[in-house]
Amino acid sequence: MDFELSEEQQMIRDMCRRFAENEIKPVAAELDATKKHPAELCQKMGELGLMGIAIPDQYGGAGMDYVSYILAVIEISRACASTGVIMSVNNSLYCFPINRFGNDAQKRAYLTPVASGQAMGCYALTEAGAGSDPSSMRTTARLEGDSWIINGEKKFITNGNVADYCVLAAVTDKDKGYKGISSFIVDTKNTPGFSVGRVEEKMGIKASGTAELVFSDARIPKENLLGEQGAGLKQMLTTLDAGRLGIGAQALGIGRAVLEEALEYAQTREQFGRPIAKFQAIQWKLADMATELDAAELLLLRAAWLQDQGRPFEKESAMAKMYASDVAMRAAVEGVQILGGYGYCKEFPMERHMRDAKICQIYEGTNEIMRLVIARNLLREAKSKM
């Protein structure tokens, strides 16, 4: 068993760490305060190959593996969780399904500009009444001549307010239930009947736009069906497996930032004539943080390795996302506690980390759903051995 990263993986991690420390971290608080989309940072990440890390270079990507992708998201999110999730969605939820299920023409037209960082992508699945339960989806697509006509509204779409392209889930046959869901590629800048609705005011990840997408007799070309009609659910589940690794990595990056800042503060803050790092109560908090974060990283890297090997990773992805996000939230709560009053004030980044960490337990499948996914896989494995 080899725990060493390859030379290429170490290079991507170190490059992202330097970029995050020098370019992202100094402006993270400002991005949070102004809620401004970090367009300039996204452009620079595109130039570094970070917006399509695991996409083949023939389609504008960096041609690296998913372990490298996870390492990159951790480092970017350590500096700014908003920038981290923008990057993650672009890679996992937009680029991944088109690369996996799209044909060559679709990849050249809709994958290349996004993977190369020249454009931005998003993934439109969630609706007001269809989150954890996609069978309640109401957005429809009907074929009319050479076009699909789409009607419906999508909610809580990361990058939705800035995306040039969208992978959309819609119902093409209501009578078939889950098997009546299909996926489409939408050019949001050139689609009549499409508009961006409300952009949400959120507790955290404020520089990452979370938007409502509105389709009112929106017309897209017939050839923008992604894969086969009725294959949308299967595509969706595979895409979410990949996306959960990105969110787990985002959570881990937040947790790493919490630990670093808690360690620094504990060694400089004095009470009763000595640094608070000398007190056992503080040491135990730091020890628990470090142990849980390392465990989360190992779960993430195992799942990413399985994906790189082309092996099933649904259970492992759910485990990694669930555990990393729970760990990040626990670390953030304890981080605020270690800093005391300062942890509750915007003078320090710690309160931002706590606000940012919470969403990781919710999106890409709530952690309650993650536990159902894990249990379903465990029961299936147990049954197969009987």
> Annotated active-site positions, please?
364
The first and second tokens of residue 90, run together, are: 């672009």
Q: How crowded is residue 216: how many other Cβ atoms within 10 Å of its Cβ?
A: 13
The first and second tokens of residue 7, run together, are: 């030379």
* Per-residue 3-state assignment (H helix, E strand, C coil) for the chain: CCCCCCHHHHHHHHHHHHHHHHHHHHHHHHHHHHCCCCHHHHHHHHHCCCCCCCCCHHHCCCCCCHHHHHHHHHHHHHHCHHHHHHHHHHHHHHHHHHHHHCCHHHHHHHHHHHHCCCCCEEEECCECCECCCHHHCCCEEEEECCEEEEEEEEEEEECCCCCCEEEEEEECCHHHHHHHEEEEEEECCCCCCEEEEEECCCCCCCCCCEEEEEEEEEEEEHHHEECCCCCHHHHHHHHHHHHHHHHHHHHHHHHHHHHHHHHHHHHHCEECCEEHHHCHHHHHHHHHHHHHHHHHHHHHHHHHHHHHCCCCCHHHHHHHHHHHHHHHHHHHHHHHHHHHHHHHCCCCCHHHHHHHHHHCCCCCCCHHHHHHHHHHHHHHHHHHCC
